Amino acid sequence: MTDARPSSSKVYRGDLRVPMREVRLTDGTSVTLYDTSGPYTDPAVSVDITRGLPRRREEWILGRGDVVRYDGRPARPADDGHRDERSRDHDLRSQDAVFTGGADPARTGHDADPARTGHGRGPLRAAGVPVTQLAYARRGVITKEMEFVALREGVGAEFVRDEVAAGRAIIPANVNHPESEPMIIGRNFLVKINANIGNSAVASTIAEEVDKMTWAIRWGADTVMDLSTGRNIHTTREWIIRNSPVPIGTVPLYQALEKVNGRAEDLSWEVYRDTLIEQCEQGVDYFTVHAGVRLAHVPLTVGRKTGIVSRGGSIMAAWCLAHHRESFLYEHFADICEILAAYDVAFSLGDGLRPGSIADANDEAQFAELRTLGELVKIAHAHDVQVMVEGPGHVPMHKIKENVDLQRELCDDTPFYTLGPLTTDIAPGYDHITSAIGAAMIGWYGTAMLCYVTPKEHLGLPNRDDVKTGVITYKIAAHAADLAKGHPGAQAWDDALSDARFEFRWEDQFDLSLDPDTARSFHDETLPAAPAKTAHFCSMCGPKFCSMRISHDIAAAYGGGPEGPEASEVPGGSGMSGDEIEAGMRAKAEEFAAGGNRVYLPLAD
Amino acid sequence: MTDARPSSSKVYRGDLRVPMREVRLTDGTSVTLYDTSGPYTDPAVSVDITRGLPRRREEWILGRGDVVRYDGRPARPADDGHRDERSRDHDLRSQDAVFTGGADPARTGHDADPARTGHGRGPLRAAGVPVTQLAYARRGVITKEMEFVALREGVGAEFVRDEVAAGRAIIPANVNHPESEPMIIGRNFLVKINANIGNSAVASTIAEEVDKMTWAIRWGADTVMDLSTGRNIHTTREWIIRNSPVPIGTVPLYQALEKVNGRAEDLSWEVYRDTLIEQCEQGVDYFTVHAGVRLAHVPLTVGRKTGIVSRGGSIMAAWCLAHHRESFLYEHFADICEILAAYDVAFSLGDGLRPGSIADANDEAQFAELRTLGELVKIAHAHDVQVMVEGPGHVPMHKIKENVDLQRELCDDTPFYTLGPLTTDIAPGYDHITSAIGAAMIGWYGTAMLCYVTPKEHLGLPNRDDVKTGVITYKIAAHAADLAKGHPGAQAWDDALSDARFEFRWEDQFDLSLDPDTARSFHDETLPAAPAKTAHFCSMCGPKFCSMRISHDIAAAYGGGPEGPEASEVPGGSGMSGDEIEAGMRAKAEEFAAGGNRVYLPLAD
C-alpha cells in the first residue's frame, strides 16, 4: 500500500532519518521539498495498515526513562457508542467487513483491532514529572523530536528548543503515538495546515476515514483531526492513529456526548475525564477543548446573526444553560492539564464562540472567549502543557489582522490555529476559496496553522476529491504566507517552477506543482501530443505569440538569458554613459536582425 | 436563447430600465442583486444572436447631437487574417456552419455577418469635439450613461459625474456599441471583474467564443476581453460585440500582428492605426495599449527570472529591438488619443513588463513602465480620453500594496485593473486560487477591476467550465473586497444568506449563493432526499450535533432569536447588576430545562 509521487524519491536526512521528497528535474538537478506523506510514498517500505506503521519514536520515548507502561483503562462498548457487548461485536464485524473487503477472517473480530494487537501492550504515561516537549525545552533539553523538526525545517535545534520553551511553538507528540514523524507548529516556522476527517451519524465508514487520512497527507496535510461522531468512534480513531505519521487531533467532547446518548445536559466531568484518558492512551496528539465557553458568555451570542456555530461551543453552552452552572471544562481546567502533561497531549483551545457569519466577526462574544483563552494559556503553561489557540471562522478581510494581534497579546504568543477565515458568506460550494483568501492573509499576519475548508463546507461531508481540493488549496494559502513572511527557502520552490516554465520544461513544471496530475491533464486537454510537452510555446498564445519565446530572443540579443548578465553588464544598466548605451543597443539590434528577428519558433511536429 | 436563473426575476429600475436580479426567498422576502447577464436571463426577451441585442443606447447617443454616421473603413480579407477574398469566403462558411449548426442557408455567407446586416449602416464618430464620458463630465453634463450607473450602483448621479470628471472612474461606452448596459470602473464603486475569452491559433471556434461571453456574464463578468488571434478575428469580434450587454475590451496589437503575418518587426504605426479605427468602428469599448514598453526598458528585463510574459509587451519589445527605435505606440500616443476620443473608447494602459514570477515582482522593469504609464495618463486626460491602468501579474502578498499605492500616486488616481495577482508560482492548475488571494487583497487596497484567472492559466485554453470557475472565483474576490472596503450594501447579501443558513432555509441558501447549481448538487450528494432541504440540521454534524439548532434553543431560552433582544435586554448585557444577571440566568436555565433541554431535533423522515 505505497504509491510514490511521479519523478520523486523519498530521501531521508541525517541519523534521525528525516523524510523529504526529492523531485528529479529533466535538466539533471533536483529540488527537495518538505514531505508529510509518511511511508506511504516510499516504495521501499511495505505498509500493512492492519499492523500499523513502524514505531519510530518508541526508542526515543523509552530512552528518556521517564515513562511507565501500565494496563490502561479497559475498553468499553460505550466507547464505540454501543449499549452492550453483543451489539458492538455485530457492528464491528460489519465495519471490518467493509474495511478489509470482508475476505480475511482474522480481521472480522476484536483481534483485528490494532488497539488489541499491534499496540496492545498497554499505554505509556509519565512516571512522575510532565513528559512534555515544553517541560524538556524549559529544562534545556533538546529532544530527538526537536532535532528532527530542526532538520525538517532547516533551522538549528537550539532555536527549536527556545521557541518551544517560550511557548511560541508546539510539537504535538503523544508518547502513545510513536508512529508519528515530529513536526512543529509556530509562527517562526513553515505555516502548517490541518485536514479534518471523520464520519458522522449520517454517512461514511472507517475504511473511508483511514483512506482520507492517507490521502490528505499525500497532498500535504501536516496534521489530521478526526472529528468522527456516532458509532465505532473509538475503533475508527484507533485505526487512524496506528497508521498516521502526522499528529492526530480530536475534540474529546464529541465522544463524551456519544457516551451520554447525545444529551448535552447529561455530560459531566467524570464522563469527560474518562474520555480524555481513553484518548490519551490511544495516542491522540492534541485535543480541542472548549473551556473558554463560560456561562457568562452564552447570553452574548443571543443577538448574533448566526448564534454559535461551533459544535463543541454549542454543546457546552447548552450544558451551562441547562445546569445554570459554570462550564465543567473551565472549572476542571487544571485537572485536564495534569492529565495532558502525563502523555504530552497538546491543547488546542477551542474557539467555541467563533463567528459563523461576516456580521458576527470580531464581536464581544468572540473576544470575551479569547480573553478567557488567554487565562487558560497561562494555566496550561504552568503545568508544562503545550498549547495553541483556535481562531475564526468568518471574518471580512479588514478585520482579520485584529484577530492575530489580539490573540498574540492575550495568549502570550502561543501558536494561533485558525479555520480559514472565510472572507464572505455568499459562496457555498466555493468556501475553500472564500477561506483561502483569509487563510493566506492570516498566515502572513502570523497564524501558525490553518485548518482547511473544503468545497463541501456548509453543504455536506467532504469526499476524497473534496479532501484533496481542500488540502491543495490550503497548501497554496500556507505557502503564499511563507513567501510573504520571507521564510528562508520558501521562494526556492517558486523559483524552480518559474525556471522550468521559462525554459519550457513542461514535465518539470508539472512535477514541481502542488498537483502534478491536474497540471498535466489540463495541458493534455488542449495540446495532448507528446511533442507539446517539449514545445517552446503553449496553447494559450500558440507559437506566434509566445512572449517567453520572445524574451529568450531578447535575452540572446543581449548575450544573456535567464541566468544572464547582471544589470550592470547590459546596455541600459548602471555604469555606462548615454552614448555607450546607445551604441550598445544599436549593436544588439543589429545582432537581433542578423539572427532573423525570430520572435517565434515554428510549430514542432 | 434566454435562460432565467432559478427563483430569480429580472427587474428593471427607473425610466432607464436598469436591470437587476431579484431573488425570491421562501420567507416571502426578496433580495435584489447587481446583474451583468443582460437580456439572456430575461424570459420576456427573445434574443436572436444573428440579429444582435437591442440598441438601447442608440437614442441616448444620437440625442446628444454630437456624432455623425459615415461610411467607415471598408472591410478587408486581411482583417480576418486571410490573404484573398476566396479563402476568406471558404473559412467563414466553415465557421458559420459550426456557429449555426450548418442548417440555415441564410447564415452560410457574408450576409450572415452581423457587421453587414444588423449594424451595417455605417459607424458613428464625433462630429467635432470628443464624445467621451470624461468630456461630458468635465463640462458638468450628467449623461444617461451616468444616470444608469448611478442607479445600478445605488449612488447619486452627481457623484458619478464627479468621479468620472476627476478621472477616478471610467464608463467604457463606445458610441458604436449601443447594445451595452453602462457600467462604471472606479475605486469608489463596486469592484468589477473581467473575463478573457478568445480563440487562438491552436483551438476554439467563433461559436464557442460567443457562448463563452454569454456564459461569463451569466455568472457575473462585468466586462469581457476578446483576446482572439488567428483566423476570423474580425468576424468573431463582430459577433461578440453585437451580442454583448457588457463592455468589450481588446488588444488591437494582436490583430495588427496578424495583418503582418506574425512578424513583429513588420508592424508599423500605419497598420496599427488602421486596426484601431477598424475596432473603434466595430464598437470595442476599451483597448489595451502597451505604450509603456519603451526601448530603454527592454534591457531591464534581461536579468529576470521569467523575462517578459505579456504577449503585447514582448511584441513591442521585439519591435523596439529589431528597429532600435522608440516604440511607435509611445511616439504616436497623442494620435491614438485623438482616435479614441472620437468614439469614446477607453484606454487600458497595458503593463507589458508585468512580472511573470514571484522573483520578478516589483522590479525596476515593472516600475519603470509604471512611471511611463503615469506620463501617458496625463496625455490621455488632456485629450479627454478615459483611461485605466493595468497591473500585475505575480506578486507575493507583502508586495501587493506597494503596487496600488504607487499606481495611485504615479497615475493620478486612475482606475487600476490588475491580473490577479498570483501570490505563488507553485500551483499550476489552481491559479484561479493563487490569484484570487491576491485579487481580493488588491481589490481591498483599491483596485477597481480584477481580470480573472482560470484554472487553465499557464496550461491551456479555458473551456466553458473553466470560464465559470474563473468568474465565480473572481466574484468572490471582488465581493470580499467590497466588504472589506465597507461598500454600502455589500454586506446585505452576506446577511441574507447567513439568515437563510441560520434559519435552515436551504433553498434560499442555494438561491442566494454565487452558484446555486453547485451548492444544491453538493447538498444532494450527502442528503439527497427532499425533506433534507427543510431539515433543521445538515450532513456535517448530523441531527445530534447541530450547533445552529442548539443556538436556536439558547435564543429561545432567552426569549430571543436571530432578530432577538438587544444585548442590554438579556442577562449579562449592560445595565443589570450582578445579582439581576444571576437571577435572570437561573430563571432562563429553568425555562430551558422545562422545555426538555432540547439540543437537537429528531431526524426528519
Flag whether residue B315 sits within 8 Å of chain A, measured between CB atoms: yes
For A225, other C-beta atoms within 10 Å of its C-beta total 22
Residue B445: pLDDT band by 50, 70, 90 thresholds?
Answer: very high
Q: What is the model's pLDDT at position B536?
A: 60
How far lies A92's CA from each of A100, A207, B12, B25, B129, in Å? 12, 12, 61, 45, 84
CB contact residues (below 8 A), chain A span 266-295, against chain B: 295
- What chain B residue is nearest to A527 in terms of C-alpha separation? B460
**3 state SS for B140-152:** CCCCHHHHHHHHH
Q: What is the model's pLDDT at position A82?
A: 75
Q: Which of A186-190, A288-292, A342-346, B539-543 has the lowest mean pLDDT?
A: B539-543
Residue A310 has pLDDT above 60, yes or no: yes
Cβ contact (<8 Å) for A599 and B526?
A: no
Q: What is the pLDDT of residues B220-261, one digit of tens each?
A: 999 999 998 878 889 999 999 999 999 999 999 999 999 999
Contacts of A546 in chain B (CB under 8 A): 311, 314
- What chain A residue is nearest to B440 in terms of C-alpha separation? A437
Residue A489 has pLDDT above 90, yes or no: no
Residue A116 amino acid letter = R
Flag whether residue B230 sits within 8 Å of chain A, measured between CB atoms: yes
CB contact residues (below 8 A), chain A span 435-464, against chain B: 436-437, 440-441, 444, 455-461, 463
Q: What is the model's pLDDT at position A5?
A: 81
Output the nine-digit C-alpha cell for A48. Answer: 500493512
CA distance B479 to chain A (A): 7
Cβ contact (<8 Å) for B560 and A302?
A: yes
Flag whether residue B227 sits within 8 Å of chain A, measured between CB atoms: no
CA distance A555 to chain B (A): 5
d(CA B174, CA B195): 19
Output the nine-digit C-alpha cell for A293. Answer: 465557553
Closest by Cβ to B498, choosing from A306, A364, A545: A306
Cβ contact (<8 Å) for A554 and B318?
A: yes
Q: What is the model's pLDDT at position B168?
A: 98
User: At residue A85, what are phi and psi to the nearest 5 degrees?
Assistant: -65, -35
Residue B597 has pLDDT above 80, yes or no: no
CB contact residues (below 8 A), chain B span 386-405, against chain A: 396-398
Residue A576 amino acid letter = M
Mean per-residue pLDDT, A88-106: 35
Q: What is the pLDDT of residues B174-190, one digit of tens each?
A: 999 999 999 999 999 99
Residue A221 has pLDDT above 60, yes or no: yes
* Cβ–Cβ < 8 Å for A247, A217: no
Catalogue the long-range contacts made by A89-98 (C-beta closer than 8 Å, 24 or more residues apart). A91/A231, A91/A232, A92/A232, A92/A235, A95/A205, A95/A206, A95/A207, A95/A232, A95/A235, A98/A205, A98/A206, A98/A207
Q: What is the pLDDT of residues B281-312, one digit of tens each?
A: 999 999 999 999 999 999 999 889 999 999 99
Contacts of A265 in chain B (CB under 8 A): 593, 597, 599
Flag whether residue B600 sits within 8 Å of chain A, measured between CB atoms: yes
Q: A386 or A581: which carries more pLDDT confidence?
A: A386
Residue B334 has pLDDT above 80, yes or no: yes
Q: Which residues of B are annotated as a binding site for substrate?
A: 196, 225, 254, 290, 310-312, 351-354, 390, 417
Flag whether residue A319 sits within 8 Å of chain B, measured between CB atoms: no
CA distance A9 to chain B (A): 19
d(CA B211, CA B231): 18
* Cβ–Cβ < 8 Å for B439, B457: no
Contacts of A491 in chain B (CB under 8 A): 358-359
Contacts of B523 in chain A (CB under 8 A): 459-460
- The residues with which A8 forms a beta bridge, in sequence order, are A23
Complex ipTM > 0.95: no
Q: Is A327 exposed, middle or buried (0-12, 13-18, 19+ CB in 10 A)?
A: buried
Q: Produce one character per residue of A17-44: b if its CB has 16 or more CB atoms within 10 Å, e if not.
A: ebbbbebebeeeeebbbbbbbbbbbbee
Q: Which of A139-153, A367-381, A546-560, B296-310 has the lowest mean pLDDT?
A: A546-560
Mean pLDDT for all residues in chain A: 86
Q: Which of A541, A268, A416, A533 is nearest to B461 (CA)?
A: A541
Q: Determine which of B363, B547, B570 to mutate to test the interface with A (most A C-beta atoms within 10 Å).
A: B547
* Cβ–Cβ < 8 Å for B52, B114: yes
Q: What is the model's pLDDT at position A88?
A: 43
Dihedral sign (CA B425, B430, B431, B436): negative
Q: What is the model's pLDDT at position B115?
A: 45
* Cβ–Cβ < 8 Å for B514, B472: yes
- What chain B residue is nearest to A598 in terms of C-alpha separation? B263
CA distance B97 to chain A (A): 22
Q: What is the pLDDT of residues A326-337, one digit of tens each?
A: 999 999 999 999
Q: What is the model's pLDDT at position B537?
A: 58
Q: What is the model's pLDDT at position B231?
A: 80
Flag whether residue A488 sits within 8 Å of chain B, measured between CB atoms: no
Output the nine-digit C-alpha cell for A463. Answer: 469526499
Residue A582: pLDDT band by 50, 70, 90 thresholds?
Answer: low
Mean per-residue pLDDT, A332-351: 98
Q: What is the pLDDT of residues A403-454, one digit of tens each?
A: 999 999 999 999 999 999 999 999 999 999 999 999 999 999 999 999 999 9
Residue B600 has pLDDT above 60, yes or no: no
**3 state SS for A129-168:** CCCCHHHHHHCCCCCHHHHHHHHHHCCCHHHHHHHHHCCC
Residue A116 has pLDDT above 90, yes or no: no
Q: Which of A63-72, A574-583, B104-113 has the lowest mean pLDDT?
A: B104-113
Contacts of A472 in chain B (CB under 8 A): 427, 430
Contacts of B602 in chain A (CB under 8 A): none
CA distance A326 to chain B (A): 12
Flag whether residue A260 sits within 8 Å of chain B, measured between CB atoms: no
Cβ contact (<8 Å) for A357 and B475?
A: no
Mean pLDDT for all residues in chain B: 86
CA distance B98 to chain A (A): 19
Count of alpha carbons within 13 Å of B149, Cβ hemisphere only?
A: 29
Output the nine-digit C-alpha cell for A120. Answer: 496492545
Contacts of A560 in chain B (CB under 8 A): 302-303
Contacts of A313 in chain B (CB under 8 A): 547
d(CA B239, CA B236): 5
Q: Determine which of B265, B360, B403, B430 to mutate to test the interface with A (most A C-beta atoms within 10 Å).
A: B430
Cβ contact (<8 Å) for A307 and B552?
A: yes
Q: What is the pLDDT of residues A398-409, one digit of tens each?
A: 999 999 999 999
Q: Which of A468-482, A529-543, B201-215, B230-244 has the lowest mean pLDDT?
A: A529-543
pTM higher than 0.80 for the full model?
A: yes
Mean per-residue pLDDT, A301-320: 93
Residue A554: pLDDT band by 50, 70, 90 thresholds?
Answer: confident
Closest by Cβ to B424, choosing from A263, A479, A588: A479
Residue B554: pLDDT band by 50, 70, 90 thresholds?
Answer: confident
CB contact residues (below 8 A), chain B span 153-182, against chain A: none
Residue B488 amino acid letter = P
Go through chain A and tell me how many residues it has.
605
Cβ contact (<8 Å) for B460 and A396?
A: no
- The residues with which A387 forms a beta bridge, in sequence order, are A347
Mean per-residue pLDDT, B398-404: 98
Residue B85: pLDDT band by 50, 70, 90 thresholds?
Answer: very low
CA distance B22 to chain A (A): 15
Flag whether residue A476 sits within 8 Å of chain B, measured between CB atoms: yes
Cβ contact (<8 Å) for B526 and A597?
A: no
Q: What is the model's pLDDT at position B119?
A: 52
Mean per-residue pLDDT, B580-601: 54
Q: What is the model's pLDDT at position A573?
A: 33
The fraction of chain B above a pLDDT of 90, given in percent, is 70
Q: Which residues of B are annotated as a binding site?
A: 196, 225, 254, 290, 310-312, 351-354, 390, 394, 417, 458, 538, 541, 546
Report angle CA A39, A342, A230 to the nearest 5 degrees: 65
